[in-house]
Amino acid sequence: MNPFAAILVRDMRLAVRVGGGALMGAFFFLIVITMTPFAVGPDLALLARIGPAILWLGALLASLLTLDRLFATDHDDGSLDLLMMGDIPLELTVAAKALAHWLTTGLPLVVIAPLLGLMLNVDMHALGWLTLTLAAGTPALTFTGLIGAALSVALRRGGLLLAVLVLPLTVPVLIFGVAAANAAIAGPAPFGPAFTILCALSLASLVLGPIAATAALRHGLE
Amino acid sequence: MELQAEGLTCGRGGREVFRNVSFKVPAGEALIVTGRNGAGKSSLLRMIAGLVRIGAGRLSLNGGKTDTPISEQAHYLGHQDAMKTSLTVAENLQFWTRFLGSRSDSSPALELLDLAPLADLPAIYLSAGQRRRLSIARVVAVSRPLWLLDEPTSALDVPSQTRLAEIMRSHLAGGGIIVAAAHGAIGLERARELKLGAA
């Protein structure tokens, strides 16, 4: 097993063990979506209209929920020191950690999204498209959040900083994610352009996120 | 192979910890760094490991792999053990050996440190000394020429200290280099000493 796979396996193992955060995001997501119909009231038309937005907001907050621990736990127990002394570039190490985070936090959200979409009166035929936008967009949430997680470790006690730094960066993802989902459900705008931009945001963050996070970690050397 | 430092200066938090530290350690020898609390022993080790920025001066590992930084040829044994409490002893060790680039099996290192009976125990149940031994097993399991040990004997009982001394001696006999921060004897007879001035 190469070092990249070793980190991936370790972080996923940690996430599903006691004290790991694997299901925390999914449960938070579930709670937000379940409570929304009670808060909004029995107006099915209104629910259908705001459904995609609620789903996307839930996914965004659920992804950020466990992100602040991404490097903090490794920093606290000294693992981060050793991670920085590995044979592979730190960028790859960081990318492996982010991938593990997405697989344990983002992917479960995508998997349960169709079920929760039903609770928000999202049209049956649109559920697939809505899920597709989440699958394409949630990696961008993790990989941009990565930058904030690295910065907050470097600057210490940066929990609040993480939210302040990361949320503005995720606004484009939110806008185009919801736009694509709405286009699939109601139209009249076509699904293609918004979805393509969403994919582009994900791909760009996949590359830029680890590079920026690595720079932040290196800068944090004291 | 030779570890060489010239005029190292370290500042942390705006305060100068040490200045103008120079030393040479040839292959097969150990350097014991001594000094009062706060003299910068740990900072010096972390600096060699690439974890603290070099304020001024030069640090080189002559005769090693020239294209890899010192941090990738060194083991760092710090105060923190870098072990995850929810993983078992074997899982922790296996992860670090794989991550640090070794293809070999990590179980001989567990045997060597008397940790084999505890292999399937989650690391949270280990005592301080056992955690220390697990960290040392990590250093043994992956072959790297330069060992940076920060008070390696802390929390170890007498038999374990003897075992550690044997391990360090065999590393030196194999042409390795050890830089250790210590307050007392760590069981190496022929070692150079570097005394850092108290801050």
Whichever domain contains B171, its CATH number is 3.40.50.300
Q: Which chain B residue lies closest to A19 (C-alpha atoms)?
A: B86
- Give the per-residue pLDDT at A157: 63
- Give the per-residue pLDDT at B199: 44
Q: Residue A180 sits in which domain range?
A: 3-219
**Number of independent structural domains in chain A:** 1
Helix (H) or strand (E) holding A33: helix A22-40
pLDDT tens for A115-160 read 888 888 888 888 888 899 999 999 999 999 898 888 888 676 666 7
Find the CB nearest B80 among A78, A84, A85. Answer: A78
Q: B132 contacts in A (CB within 8 Å)? A: none
Q: B82 contacts in A (CB within 8 Å)? A: 77-79, 81-82
Are the CB atoms for A109 and A138 separated by under 8 Å?
yes
Q: A88 contacts in B (CB within 8 Å)? A: 101
pLDDT tens for B105-118 read 778 888 888 888 88
Are the CB atoms for A98 and B84 separated by under 8 Å?
no
Q: How far is CA A58 from the centre of its chain?
A: 10
Kindly state whether B83 is in contact with chain A, defined as any CB-CB distance less than 8 angstroms.
yes
Q: A77 contacts in B (CB within 8 Å)? A: 80-84
**Number of independent structural domains in chain B:** 1
pLDDT tens for A167-186 read 888 999 999 999 998 888 87
**Alpha-carbon gap, residue A212 to A195, rounded angstroms:** 25
Q: Which residues contact A184 (CB under 8 A, 6 or more apart)?
A: A126, A129, A130, A133, A191
pLDDT tens for A64-86 read 888 878 888 888 888 888 888 88
* Mean of pLDDT over chain A: 87
Q: Residue B91 sits in which domain range?
A: 2-196
Q: Cα angle vertex A142, ends A140, A145, to 5°?
A: 100
pLDDT tens for A191-211 read 888 889 999 999 999 999 999
- Give the per-residue pLDDT at A202: 94
Whether A97 has a pLDDT exceeding 90, the answer reads yes
Q: Which residues contact A137 (CB under 8 A, 6 or more apart)?
A: A56, A59, A173, A176, A177, A198, A201, A202
Window A:83-112, CB contacts with B under 8 Å = 83-88
- Give the per-residue pLDDT at A209: 93
Q: Quick check: A84 and B98 CB within 8 A?
A: no
Residues of chain B with pLDDT under 70: 64, 198-199
- Give the per-residue pLDDT at A158: 62
Q: Express as a percent the part of chain A with pLDDT over 70.
A: 95
